[in-house]
Amino acid sequence: MGSESASCSSSDLPSTIVVDLEIEGEGDNPEEIPLEIVTEEEMALIDAAIASARGIIRSSSSIGNRTIALSSLRRCKKNSPISTRASSDDVEDPDRRLRTAKSSPLKLFPTKKALSVTDLTATEWCEKQMEFVLIHGKPAKTKAMKAGSDRHLELEEEIITKIEISIKSLEDSWALKLINFIFGSQQLLLHGLTRELPIFGMVEGIWMVGVIDEIRISSSDAVQWPLLVDTKTRHTATLPSEAQKRNGRLQLMCYKYLWDSTVSSDFHRDEFYRHFELDPAATLSEDVINYSIKQGLQAKTLDDVVRFFSNNCPLLPPSQDKLILRYEFQGNRSILEEYLFDYDGDWFKGQMKGSIEFWGGKREARLVAEAEEWKCRFCKFHSICPVSLRSNS
């Protein structure tokens, strides 16, 4: 562990230790390749920017009313880095990358073992823009994106305090994600609130990963089912468009599907190990072992942590069918709208099917619908996109 800061903070809610890590070349990072689409007028995918800025793996401590010192972050390298980008030949030859993307976008990132939830929402926003991002890289972040990211970090730090820890393998990183889920879910049950909860599972036959913004349980409800909430910040004090709400609905529905699947079915550990190419018997790093012991898990291998995870999940209730999108004005942090909507399983699975067809290369990227060509005014790739020809014809 690194040296700890002398400053501490207290909260009515328990503090949760979070381990922030970045493994150079970590191909299985769930938030590594999200699309970023944010403009001065349209904050459509601010969470994609947050996920990109996050680019880390987290774990949390045991639950208890206490304060915990915050340490500095240390970025560490994996022993055997894995490149998640295309080869240098592809980078120098955009046409070759375009051909590869059209055959299957996932082939651009051969070590990407799962789609992130932000991959899904970015595809729903505009498949062609996602294709351009995969080929040319993400546009630079804007001030609005930075402000949205900073606000989410503030919300996170209200109940979470970060410490540093070092990891040396994929097994270490997955062990920390699972520990984060275990203690984040316990925080939810004991105190009615948790934030930044990692989640993963199978959706329509595809592994997906993500981080749930916030989960609440109200003590006043007769039946205490978890309520999933996502906070989105807006640069202007205006309500979001229907396209933005639709994108947010898809995101939260995906989180609900993953949560409910996690708590209601047996965890298929053998498939998990096989798909992510993990060694369940591999000894975890000394830092991770010591950390797990402090949390009372007594885990020395990834399989030890997975067993704790599997035993924890059946104790958790499924989430409500109601979901909330909170839209907050960046200027004064006032709430513009708390948008309550119902989970629609048929619509969600239809959206997933279409997205998987694109990512699997079963069809080419679709252009944005004509009714939503206003999105193109803020797209960095508009000048090279076929939709510009359609607009000028």
Provide DSSP, 83-144: --SPPHHHHH-HHHHHHHHHH-GGGGSTT--SEEHHHHHHHHH-HHHHHHHHHH-PPPPPHH
User: Does residue 1 fall inside a structural domain?
Assistant: no
Q: What is the pLDDT of residue 111?
A: 66
Backbone φ and ψ for 6, nearest 5 degrees, come out as -80, -15
User: Does residue 107 fall inside a structural domain?
Assistant: no
Residues 155/71, Cβ–Cβ less than 8 Å: no
Task: Give the contacts of 154 (CB within 8 A, at least 6 positions apart).
Answer: none
Residue 192: is its pLDDT beyond 80? yes
- Mean residue pLDDT of the chain comes to 75
Residues 317/226, Cβ–Cβ less than 8 Å: yes
The DSSP call for residue 205 is T
The DSSP call for residue 364 is P
Nearest CA among 53, 206, 49 for reference residue 125:
49
* Lowest mean pLDDT, pick from 57-71, 219-233, 306-320: 57-71
User: Does residue 95 fall inside a structural domain?
Assistant: no
**pTM value > 0.85:** no
User: Does residue 292 fall inside a structural domain?
Assistant: yes
Most confident residue range from 109-123, 246-260, 262-276: 246-260
- Span 35-57, average pLDDT: 35
- The neighbouring-strand residues paired with 45 are none
- Start-to-end Cα distance in the chain: 61
- Span 289-293, average pLDDT: 86
Q: What is the pLDDT of residue 302?
A: 97
For the stretch 125-180, pLDDT in tens is 999 999 998 888 776 666 655 665 666 566 656 656 666 788 889 999 999 999 98
User: Does residue 6 fall inside a structural domain?
Assistant: no
Assigned token pair, 356? 């998987």
Backbone φ and ψ for 192, nearest 5 degrees, come out as 80, 10
Assigned token pair, 308? 């704790």
Report CA 220 to chain centroid distance, whole Å. 30
The residue range of the domain holding 354 is: 16-82+115-392
User: Does residue 89 fall inside a structural domain?
Assistant: no
In angstroms, the Cα distances linking 55 to 58, 167, 302 are 10, 15, 22
Q: What is the pLDDT of residue 154?
A: 66
Backbone φ and ψ for 126, nearest 5 degrees, come out as -165, 110
Residue 358: is its pLDDT beyond 70? yes
- Exposed, middle or buried, 362 (CB in 10 Å: 0-12/13-18/19+)? exposed
- Exposed, middle or buried, 355 (CB in 10 Å: 0-12/13-18/19+)? buried
Give me the number of domains the chain comprises: 1
For the stretch 229-260, pLDDT in tens is 999 989 889 999 999 999 999 999 999 999 99
Residue 208: is its pLDDT beyond 80? yes
For the stretch 304-352, pLDDT in tens is 999 999 999 999 999 999 999 999 998 888 999 999 999 999 999 999 9
Q: What is the pLDDT of residue 352?
A: 94
Residue 364: is its pLDDT beyond 60? yes
- CA angle 193–115–307, rounded 5-degree value: 55
As a whole-number percent, the residues of the chain with pLDDT over 90 amount to 46
Residue 212: is its pLDDT beyond 90? yes
| Amino acid symbol at 147 | A
Task: Give the contacts of 49 (CB within 8 A, at least 6 positions apart).
Answer: 34, 36, 38, 141, 145, 148, 149
User: Does residue 3 fall inside a structural domain?
Assistant: no
User: Does residue 93 fall inside a structural domain?
Assistant: no
Assigned token pair, 354? 């279409």
How many residues are given for the chain? 393
